[in-house]
Amino acid sequence: MRAQPQPVIPVTVLETKLYVPRPRKGRVPRVRLSERLDRGIQSKLVLVSAPAGFGKTTLLTEWLAGRSVGGERGSATWLSLDAGDNDPAHFWTYVIAGLRSLVPSMGASALDLLQDPQALPVQAVLTTLLNDLAAVDDDVVLVLDDYHVIESREVHDGMAFLLDHLPPQLHLVIASRADPPLPLSRLRARGELVEVRAADLRFTADEASSYLNDAMGLQLTAADVAALEGRTEGWIAALQLAALSMQGRDDAAAFIAGFAGDDRYVVDYLVEEVVQRQPSEVQEFLLQTSVLSRMSASLCDAVAVGSDGRSMLLQLERGNLFLVPLDDQRRWYRYHHLFADVLQARLLDERPELVPDLHQRASGWYADNGEPAEAIRHAMAGGDVQRAADLVELNLAAVRRDRQEPLLRRWLEALPDDVVRMRPVLCVAYAGSRLGTAETDGVEARLHDAEYWQEAIARADDGRPDGMVAVNELELGRLPTWTAVYRAGLALAQGDSETTVVHARRALELRDEDDLLALGAATALIGLASWANGDLETTHASYVACLDTFERAGHVADVMGIAITVGDVLVIWGRLDDAMRTYRDALRLAGILDALPRGAADMYVAMSAIHYARGDLAAAREDLARSQALGEHKGLPQNRYRWRVAMAQVREAEGDLDAALDLLDEADRVYVGDFSPRVRPVPAVKARVWIKQGRLSEVRSWAGRQELSPSDTLTYVREYEHVTLARALIAEFEADRAQTVLDDADGLLARLLDAAEAGGRQSAIVEILVLRARVRQLRGDRAGALAALERALALAEQEGHVGVFVDEGSPMAELLTAVAAAGRTTSGYVRTLLEALGQTSLDRRAPDGLVEPLSDREREVLRLLATDLSGPEIARRLVLSLNTVRTHTKSVYAKLGVSSRRAAVRRAEDLGL
């Protein structure tokens, strides 16, 4: 089933996670460490790594406060990490949100890309972000606190990529209890890593004395301070807990003398000392609220029944009981992580029966306050899977509206299998969440369960069979419709077009009249099944109907996606004017909104392809630039690779084949599949460029991998690949003059022509006729070549096709000249084609002083080297990766015989380049 994305509402960012903690009152100045951080900030990475309680966060907050007071150039943003940030999309959303708090214009495209329901290559997101960062003038410090909670390999890989490509303006600071799995040794060897370890963070004797006596007012002797500092080995958390325990004691020396044990025992002992010295109501509050990752007064009132949340939080803050404020208004707090760990362990030891009830209360509060994700998390943590399942079922509409299929899938997979199986609404939701991310594993089983319950409902007198659970009556009523929709999607994914249509039509019969989403989905599935079979008439009719459906429903982003398919079919039919009109109509519809929806960028890419087909490379470039200016977040999932393929086609037409291949390699990496037939696979597009480069061994390897041969049974889906194979055979003949190869090409083209004519695919007919003209030309059959070409010209002229002729180069110019001389076709159209062929005949001779000429791309790079643009800026201007620009730059230096940018510019000026 082809995904039809809806406008995505971005994940709500919890501002308190971006809150920079304030320096504590009575803090101990740590000048030696602040100076090390000041020096280290010039490196790529500052790593503050030490066990819990060593003052990592305190050090960084005080250092940042000192930079602010000192008025140093640059600014900083802070991200407090938690276990929920192991989701890569969640993690990078918060990183970007933090950076945007400093530079609001930064990361808009990357942020929206993260909301994509399709599988997302994180490097594509980070490349967009890095390009934005490279344009920032001032230094930016990004602090990631508590990085040890990150266990996701995907997040670590993304961080490694970020470090490898970090622009000099961005400085990364990581605070962690353990060394993160990042390329630390490589950074260390390059001098790009500054480390602050536990040994550095431990309080010295002087710092311990300053803290215990000046900050805490204990008036200890130097011997007592030395003893306590020695027993704790400068561990700041233990010193803090010891200081709290000693407040009000007359026997400080005796307490210190009896203080012993390793870190864990010390913490357990001291926390008990601190907690047990509190009034009973405070102790109870601490235990009951320890299950919360963040706290507000209202939430605490709901969880710690009978307490006054506001006054209790203020009391804890005043008592310095490890409470960390998360905003300036003192509305949200959290416990120090170490303190919370110990409280939770004590709760499980002393009151295990209370834990489920506490989580249930928290879940209820979050559900009532519009935070279903937290409500579901607490329900799961409390072991109340039925409540969690209820919440998932009740929130299906919102999740679907926001196109959060991956989130829905995580929820459902976290539930026990037997719970999901007893809930038909969740069975169908599970199937949809899998199909929505282009996966089919488990879909059949869940659909079978849903169908079992539908039969049981039909048999039950009251419609409620024993054992079945359902709390969403609207979704339950639509169960048969959506079961049929997902049956159709599964059949399509398995290549069974006939069954797809059967189920899709069943869904149309069953749907509620007001369920426009089901109407559009089922109609689209019928069109997709027909497309795979080459029945473009049915595909076109189905998708035109979908356009009307989604427009009536107000789903403008879906209109964009449908318009792409309608336009694709029209282009296949050779109706370029109608395709262009379809794209422009969709843009006009989008233009009535305050903000352009997703899919607007796709319209410009599609229009650029029309301009290319008509030989207007300038217009094609302009529309691609417009698409790029909107940002990838304004494109549907497939737009990332479609844009690159379209730009590669332009580069190829301009003669820069290496640049075209670079773009196609990128397109392959960012390719996102859906249920649409892959009628123009990127590897086949690359094979056509290789043919022009004479790299026939790579072309043969491609054909072998795809199991292509001239005698294959022909299908519409593989038509583009077989036409590419015919091109390869023609190139093979030109290379070695083996007549059998040309015979194979001729026979394949004859069969392809019959199939294209039967299907009414005019664009393919024109291309095949052009290639048949080339075969006749190579055979020396001038009359046959001209006849095939004249027929192609007659079909192509009305819509103004140019590119298909120009791509053939000088052999086509020779044939067109002969056609014009014969006077048997429109001379104006032929003259237009000959002029276009002349414009692309570039002079490849090297100027005096150069052994080898510069390629078109190298000339572009050289021109920009003469400007003030940086390397990343040149990469953005040329729509290339920074590594590709560096490769071209090295080649320019080698051909000019220089070793620097300035020398290259001077040499180029001397040569008149």
Pairing verdict, β 45-49 and 170-176: parallel
Spatial separation of the C-alpha atoms in residues 339 and 321, rounded to whole Å: 9
Any bridge partners for residue 49, and if so which?
A: 176, 197
pLDDT of residue 27: 72
Residue pair 350/342 in contact (Cβ under 8 Å)? The answer is no
CA 461 to chain centre: 49
88: tokens are: 């890569």
**What are the backbone dihedrals phi and psi of residue 79, each rounded to the nearest 5 degrees, phi first?**
-135, 115
Token look-up 């490196």 returns 43
**Domain ranges (residues) in the chain:** 15-201, 205-276, 280-369, 388-629, 667-684+705-839, 856-911
Any bridge partners for residue 171, and if so which?
A: 141
Class of domain 15-201: alpha beta
Sign of CA dihedral 506, 511, 517, 519: positive
Residue 783 has a CB neighbour count (10 Å cut-off) of 9
196: tokens are: 């602050």
716: tokens are: 């519409």
Residue pair 470/476 in contact (Cβ under 8 Å)? The answer is yes
Full-model pTM: 0.63
Spatial separation of the C-alpha atoms in residues 586 and 771, rounded to whole Å: 35
Spatial separation of the C-alpha atoms in residues 910 and 908, rounded to whole Å: 5
Closest CA to 661 of 891, 896, 895, 888: 888
Alpha-carbon torsion, ordered 183, 185, 191, 195, to 10 deg: 90
Same fold, 388-629 and 667-684+705-839: yes
Spatial separation of the C-alpha atoms in residues 94 and 19, rounded to whole Å: 12
* Mean pLDDT by groups of 10 residues along the chain of 913 residues: 37 79 75 86 88 83 74 73 86 91 86 68 86 87 92 91 90 90 88 88 85 81 83 72 73 71 53 74 92 94 91 80 78 80 85 94 94 92 94 84 71 92 94 80 93 90 85 91 94 90 94 88 91 89 90 79 91 93 88 70 93 92 90 79 94 90 90 80 95 92 95 93 96 88 95 94 95 93 92 91 90 88 75 77 46 72 84 78 79 77 79 70
Closest CA to 322 of 343, 307, 305: 343
Any bridge partners for residue 172, and if so which?
A: 45, 142
Closest CA to 388 of 457, 464, 468, 471: 471
Any bridge partners for residue 323, and if so which?
A: 335
Residue pair 17/80 in contact (Cβ under 8 Å)? The answer is yes
Give CA separation, 214 vs 28, 220, 233, 313, 318, in Å: 9, 10, 20, 26, 18
HSE-CB at 371 with a 13 A cutoff on CA atoms is: 15
Residue pair 532/538 in contact (Cβ under 8 Å)? The answer is no
3-state SS string for 489-524: HHHHHCCCHHHHHHHHHHHHHHCCCCCHHHHHHHHH
Class of domain 667-684+705-839: mainly alpha
Burial of 591 (0-12, 13-18, 19+ CB in 10 A): exposed
Residue type, 66: G
Spatial separation of the C-alpha atoms in residues 852 and 294, rounded to whole Å: 66
3-state secondary structure of 868: coil
Class of domain 388-629: mainly alpha
Straight-line distance from the first to the last Cα atom of the chain, in angstroms, rounded to the nearest whole number? 53
24: tokens are: 């504590």
113: tokens are: 């890309």
* DSSP code of residue 847: P
Closest CA to 95 of 150, 34, 17, 37: 17
3-state secondary structure of 172: strand
pLDDT of residue 73: 44
Residues 6+ apart with CB under 8 A from 535: none
Residues in the chain: 913
Give CA separation, 572 vs 193, 761, 764, 826, in Å: 55, 5, 7, 24
Residues 856-911, CATH architecture: Orthogonal Bundle (1.10)
pLDDT of residue 764: 94
Give CA separation, 687 vs 302, 661, 706, 716, in Å: 65, 10, 12, 19
201: tokens are: 């963070």
Residue pair 620/612 in contact (Cβ under 8 Å)? The answer is yes
Spatial separation of the C-alpha atoms in residues 833 and 808, rounded to whole Å: 11
Cα angle vertex 298, ends 295, 301, to 5°? 90
pLDDT of residue 864: 87
pLDDT of residue 179: 85
Spatial separation of the C-alpha atoms in residues 258 and 15, rounded to whole Å: 44
Q: What angle, rounded to 10 degrees, do the helices at 871-878 and 882-896 form?
A: 100
71: tokens are: 């008025």
Q: In what order do the strands lie in the sheet with 45-49?
A: 75-80, 140-145, 170-176, 45-49, 193-197
Spatial separation of the C-alpha atoms in residues 50 and 64, rounded to whole Å: 19
pLDDT of residue 683: 95
pLDDT of residue 561: 84
Give CA separation, 483 vs 329, 341, 441, 454, 476, in Å: 49, 45, 16, 10, 11
Residue type, 78: W
3-state secondary structure of 194: strand
